[in-house]
Structure 1
Amino acid sequence: MQTTLFRYIDLPIGDRAAFELVCARHGFAPAHFDISARAAPGEPAHERVVTVRRVGWSQSYRDGHGQWVRQFEADLTSRFFK
């Protein structure tokens, strides 16, 4: 089964804007993180898996119509990426 890889700039503009807002709220810039996404063929775009990496830490989130940004913010709040 072949998966499709996406980069940050390939994500929907709404997801990118929400991510940038969350980063700013917590004192980060989007450039502090490496973001990629992957989706299996035939899966809806909103079901992709988004992976966020920063300085040796990484976390993957199911997209679920932008829910990954909320989960990412919860990890920032709990200082997972610091």
Structure 2
Amino acid sequence: MESTLLRYTDLPIGDRAAFELVCARHGFAPAHFDISVCMDPADAAHERLITVRRGGWAQSYHDRHGQWIRQFEADLNCRFFK
């Protein structure tokens, strides 16, 4: 599975704006996170798999038309990345 390391500024504009808003709501800057994207070969719809890393913590989310941002925010609510 080939992965591409991105900056949050490489995300589609809608995802980028939502990511910035979620980060700000939880006291983070988007630059605090590393994002990588790859295609998930196990997914019949060929959705992207988004991996967000901060320090020694990482979590992967299926894109599903922006749903990954809601899941990312849920992890921030649970203090997963702190």
Q: What TM-score comes out, normalization by structure 1 length?
A: 0.84
CA separation in 1, counterparts of 2:6 and 2:17? 15
Q: Is the 8 A contact 1:4 1:40 kept in 2?
A: no
2:80 maps to 80
Unaligned runs of 5+ in 1: none
Unaligned runs of 5+ in 2: none
Structure 1: which 4+ aligned runs deviate by more than 6 Å? none
Between the aligned residues of both structures, percent identity stands at 70
Equivalenced residue count is 79
Q: What TM-score comes out, normalization by structure 2 length?
A: 0.84
RMSD of aligned alpha carbons: 2.0
CA separation in 2, counterparts of 1:80 and 1:10? 24
Q: 1:13 to 1:44 in 2, by over 3 A?
A: farther
